[in-house]
Amino acid sequence: MNLNESIENTASVKCPSCGMFAFDSEIVCSQCNYPLKGTEQDQKDFLFNQDMKSVDIDNFDKELKKARNMLYYIAVIFVIGGFITYAKSQGQPDASLGLGLDVILSLVFVVLAASTAKWPTICIITGLTIFTVVMVANAIINPLTLIQGIILKIAAYVLLFKGLKSAREAERIRNQYPLL
């Protein structure tokens, strides 16, 4: 290999997709897999797919935001429900304990909601699990609680499951396309 070939092999080109520099000899960008040596159609298709994945991520983020908001709503409902139950049963010895548990659950849901930006899948699964355990425990104690607020409970499950699905799909796309 002579000096001219060596210089040609070390020359860099800037990737039009991610802006990273690549060697002229590279077929695809090592950072984003842009087809540096591909046909014009290959390059257009790559950029189009990147744009579509970006739109998908935006849609998933909207669903995730709804799930996060539902975790906040659940927190508010626990606090309000706790105070209502406490007011109704002030003379009973375990009224303060019930209020304390509701406040703690509310705080847990606030922390889960606030943490969805960093750990969406884990936070939503944890929220779903805690919500389900509380609903089952309440149903064991008083079966009438199954039908009380049924519309809100269904809405909570629907939004949380949609958020979970979106979080998983967004995670998959971000792993596949790290520059999005």
Q: If we measure between CA atoms, which residue out of 163, 100, 154, 102 comes closest to residue 127?
A: 163
pLDDT at 80: 93
- The contacts of residue 167 (CB under 8 Å, 6+ apart) are 60, 64, 67, 116, 120, 121, 124
Which residues are 13's β-sheet partners? 22
Q: How many residues does the chain have?
A: 180
43 located within any domain: no
- Residue 14 C-beta-side C-alpha neighbours within 13 Å: 2
Handedness of CA 69, 70, 71, 76 (dihedral sign): positive
**Do 99 and 132 share a domain, yes or no?**
yes
Digit-coded pLDDT (tens) for 119-136: 999 999 999 999 999 999
**Do 73 and 5 share a domain, yes or no?**
no
28 located within any domain: yes
110 located within any domain: yes
**Do 71 and 32 share a domain, yes or no?**
no
**Do 64 and 145 share a domain, yes or no?**
yes
**Do 14 and 76 share a domain, yes or no?**
no
pTM for this one? 0.68
Digit-coded pLDDT (tens) for 16-71: 878 788 887 788 888 787 888 888 888 887 877 776 666 667 777 888 888 899 99
**Do 150 and 117 share a domain, yes or no?**
yes
Handedness of CA 91, 94, 96, 98 (dihedral sign): negative
Residue 141 has pLDDT above 50, yes or no: yes
27 CB-contact burial (10 Å; exposed 0-12 / middle 13-18 / buried 19+): exposed
pLDDT at 103: 96
Q: Rounded distance, CA 113 to CA 162, Å?
A: 15
Span 151-171, mean pLDDT? 88
92 located within any domain: yes
Domains held by the chain: number: 2
Q: Identify the domain containing residue 125 by its residue range.
A: 56-176
50 located within any domain: no
pLDDT tier for residue 178 given thresholds of 50, 70 and 90:
low
Cβ 159 vs Cβ 71: under 8 Å? no
pLDDT at 64: 86
**Do 15 and 104 share a domain, yes or no?**
no
Q: Rounded distance, CA 32 to CA 44, Å?
A: 14
pLDDT tier for residue 2 given thresholds of 50, 70 and 90:
low
**Do 2 and 83 share a domain, yes or no?**
no
**Do 130 and 86 share a domain, yes or no?**
yes
Residue 11 has pLDDT above 70, yes or no: no
Cα end-to-end span (Å), the chain: 39
Percent of the chain whose pLDDT exceeds 70: 88
pLDDT tier for residue 1 given thresholds of 50, 70 and 90:
low
**Do 25 and 79 share a domain, yes or no?**
no
**Do 80 and 133 share a domain, yes or no?**
yes
Digit-coded pLDDT (tens) for 74-97: 999 999 989 998 998 877 888 888
